[in-house]
Structure 1
Amino acid sequence: MISEVHDGATRELLRLAGFARGCRFVEFGCGLGYVTRWAAAEGSHATGIDASEEQVKACQELASDEGLTNVDFRTANIYEPGLEPDSIDVAYCRWLMVHLTRPVDAMRVIFVALKPGGVMVCEEAGVSAVYTEPRSIAYEEMREIALRAGRARGVDYDGGRYAHLWAKEAGFELVHVSAYHPHYLSGPHKGLWNWTFRNAVRRLVEERSLTEERWEELIAGMTAADNSPETVVAHCRMHQVIARKPLGRPSEA
């Protein structure tokens, strides 16, 4: 569902950044590899990197099913991706930096992997922008619980607004900054953040910092908002950044 909601905007952003047939493309935190496989189908030399061996195995199977031979998936973490310096034309990530305790360091790793003049394309969430109208107290409470849980783990699920500043600190030149904000009155995508919050917050139930009863009450409240034909559900705001590694700045060996 995430792919269905966001991939159209992602493809437009990548084309704006200069993605083209024949380029060397890497997606960090590729998940099930939807963007990486699209990039390969468009004729790039594509690599998808994810920390989950299970996800990478699924990506490899999907790519094989689609007959893609110009794509590689590998298991690695963002801080040690195993890429040659100055070897990438376009690097991409979505919803990755907001899950990291050291997003600037991660961007510095991407900087090293890019060729001089190469670009990093980054899409990151602003979860505080999730709301409903009319108000759903359940959505609001679940949003705040999720944000607090992230801060307790040293990450900022609202950090998309800082992505351009992180890129500057990592040494990039800013090329483009924008945002978009999906809203739904109906349809299968309306409940995406109900699903997202319930999975993110379930961990707190397992840790016994949130009761099972309250978790179920919040889910019921969010579901009521999703099912209401008069309630608009706004998803997170998606912050988009295109940043370039300056020409004449090869990485140190």
Structure 2
Amino acid sequence: MAETELDNMALTFDEYDKLIEKFGKVKTFSSETVKLNDILQEAEITEDIKTKYLSAFKLLLKHIHDDGLFYRGNNQEACKYINYILYKEVQHEIKRSYDKDLIKIFHKFLEAYGKKRSMQNRCISNIYSIEDQTYNKINGLYEDVITIEQIHAVRNYLNLTLYQNLKHITKYKCVKLDYNQKKVHHIQEHTGEQIMHNRHYSKIYPYQKQNNRMNEETKEIVQMISIVKLLIIEQILSILQMISIEVAYTKKQKIPI
């Protein structure tokens, strides 16, 4: 079965996740040796084109200059991602056509960058015009990936919050039980002394009442722990249901349609 444009463009879940994390760390481009205007001048980009597509040129330079992703040479996955975000910037932010004429301009820009860095072919062959429906399908899938990441963040927050609450309640339970046990032991000893010195039930009753009250407090704490455990189970089941869509994504296969 022949590969489609979508097959050539799509990244796996792990590839896309790695790239957005890597590229996301650099918010703006800054370099003492590589200047955007120098590259534009070397590529003979006109002022009119520069003005229209300045944000796209900045975006391209920021990503293409990440040596960590290109230290082994041309990184096909990174180039696919760059082509995707360039299309998104041009079509949806600048509101221009990501056509073959513009691709030629981007190629000239990349060639000029290569001359500055002695790297002649970084992503040049991977920057090309794509069909609108191809972008729409890929963009929908990548947005699902972002949704999954958000779900993971919520899940981790819930797990941490529940763990901390349970830890504090458990600590309270242990302290309270220890306190109750000591008081019960003290009351029992004192009650024994009262029995030896006074056989009247009226003398013993106040201690028995206090003992019973502490037993009720202990039961209440145990019930509280049981409720928290049930809440944790409920949260886990809810989270598992929320992230069930992640099953469709695998580490070894491309993101399916």
TM-score for the superposition, normalised by structure 2: 0.24
**Greater relative CO (CA pairs within 8 A, separation 6+):** 2
Rg (Cα) greater in structure: 2
TM-score for the superposition, normalised by structure 1: 0.24
* Structure with the larger strand share: 1
